[in-house]
Copies of this chain bind each other. A is one copy, B any other.
Amino acid sequence: MRQSQLFTKTIKETPKDEVSRNAQLLLRAGFIFKEMAGVYSFLPLGLRVMKRIENIIRDEMNVVGGVEMKTSIMQNKEVWEKSNRWDDKIVDNWFKTKLKNGMEVGLSFTNEETYSNILKQYVSSYKDLPVYPYDFKNIFRNEARSKSGIMRGREFFWKALYSFSKDEKEHIVFYEKMIIAYKKIFDRVGIGSSTYLTYALGGTFSKFSHEFQTVCEAGEDIIYIQKDDYGKGLNVKLGHAAINKDIYTDDFKKDLGLKGNFEEKKAVEVGNIFTLGTKFSEPFDLKYKDAKGEDKMVFMGSYGIGLGRLMGTIVELNSDKDGIIWPAEVAPFLVHLISLKKNEQANKIYEEIKKAGVDVLYDDRENVSAGEKFAEADLIGCPYRLVLSEKTLAKGSVEVKKRSEKEAKMVKISELVNWLISKQ
């Protein structure tokens, strides 16, 4: 894309009302626009990152047999009354509104009831199970405060998958597949090495649930990582060695068979997986006839990832004083091509890179200084910066600098496209 087509501009000053680093950088670089506290619009650069994250998650959900749908945001009171989660005294972060006829409706704050209600219409036999529907949608939570930028929004974009299995045994097989799918997702978006699978508090049907927690100073959670057994990296074995603060007690540790020294770290919950059992299938009478013709309750699980939070976490982990440093797999563009002179050559190289299928942002603006262009490129944070100037052209080359490195090098124009393809 030509930068002249992109209407956003970078901003030098840090926005006064933003305390979180992710929002400061994303606002200054023109990825997001603040509508109000906890509510952001995604500008073209921001949407490109979100779509890349979304596609990675979709890939991995499809690998485990997920089937995508799109549930409504408006929610029917009658549906949520079945599970006793309509009342504001029980769920205190609903956003609600009213139809003309006075009927109250809610805005989705989660999806368990929505899914159970839909599945009730279709599931009747053991032949209908298991199924793994999921969707990407906007979720609304009426948070009292919202100061973490896009890491805890009042409106946010979310992937939720629910598993509907015949029994606990079938459920566990899928649950473990999802652990591996989540590990792949966090690896692919570039935060795998800082992300731990932790034990967290369970619910009615399981003593423990699991979260994926990314170690990060901006995190609102505290986790304890067993130092002795294992270092960095995601542990997908069943013998986990990271624990959320809420269950970091001697009793729980004993239950988990964990000993030794633990290190306290601030962390962000980037994903959670939860065994729901029959908590929702019971109120929705979501049952099936087994092979013998007997009625059984469907056994459920839930698996969520907030995409805005994930994007915010990636920024928190990948920046320096000059701006963002996007991991290649989620970068808005792989390449930021900067022309320091109006010339045919730059246009030609831009077209060639585009034609090769490499995502490129082309700074084709005139009357903007080299220093300003470089500062903007650093703030936006594409993985590779290419500079074309009279000096580089004299050598038949382009100057290439990786955003995460200090040193630049020259690449022959004739070899550029193949070199870029190898970096995708």
Q: Which residues of A contact B (CB under 8 A)?
A: 1, 4-9, 30, 33, 35-36, 39-44, 46-47, 50, 65, 67-76, 79, 95-100, 103, 105, 107, 114, 118-119, 121-123, 127-128, 131, 133, 138, 140, 142-144, 154-155, 164, 365
Q: Is the interface of A mostly helix, strand, loop or mixed?
A: mixed
CB < 8 Å: which of B1, B70, B74 contacts A36?
B74
Number of copies: 2
Interfacial chain B residues near A39, Cβ < 8 Å: 72, 74, 76, 105
Given contacts A35-B72, A42-B70, contact A65 B155 (CB under 8 A): no
Interfacial chain B residues near A41, Cβ < 8 Å: 69-72, 114, 118
List, sorted by A's number, 21 A–B pairs whose CB atoms are closer than 8 Å: A5-B65, A5-B131, A7-B119, A7-B131, A7-B133, A35-B75, A36-B74, A39-B72, A39-B74, A39-B105, A41-B70, A41-B72, A42-B69, A44-B68, A44-B69, A47-B69, A74-B154, A97-B107, A100-B142, A100-B144, A138-B138
Q: Is the CB of B155 within 8 A of A7?
A: no
Cβ-closest chain B residue relative to A99: B142
Interfacial chain B residues near A164, Cβ < 8 Å: 7
Cβ-closest chain B residue relative to A123: B7
Interfacial chain B residues near A79, Cβ < 8 Å: 35
CA distance in complex: A68, B332 (Å): 13
Q: Is the CB of B96 within 8 A of A97?
A: yes
Q: Is the CB of A6 within 8 A of B67?
A: yes
Given contacts A7-B128, A122-B7, contact A74 B155 (CB under 8 A): yes
Interfacial chain B residues near A50, Cβ < 8 Å: 70
Having A7-B133, A35-B75, A47-B69, one finds 7 other A-B pairs with CB under 8 Å, namely A5-B131, A6-B67, A7-B123, A41-B114, A41-B118, A73-B155, A97-B97
Cβ-closest chain B residue relative to A66: B5
Given contacts A97-B107, A107-B97, A128-B7, contact A121 B33 (CB under 8 A): yes
Interfacial chain B residues near A114, Cβ < 8 Å: 35, 41
CA distance in complex: A2, B297 (Å): 25
Query: Among the interface residues A1, A74, A79, which one has the most CB atoms of the partner chain B within 10 A?
Result: A74
Q: Is the CB of A74 within 8 A of B140?
A: yes
Cβ-closest chain B residue relative to A138: B73
Interfacial chain B residues near A127, Cβ < 8 Å: 4, 365
Cβ-closest chain B residue relative to A35: B72
Cβ-closest chain B residue relative to A8: B122
Q: Is the CB of A40 within 8 A of B72?
A: yes
Interfacial chain B residues near A72, Cβ < 8 Å: 35, 39-41, 155
Interfacial chain B residues near A65, Cβ < 8 Å: 5
Q: Is the CB of A36 within 8 A of B105?
A: yes
Interfacial chain B residues near A138, Cβ < 8 Å: 73, 138
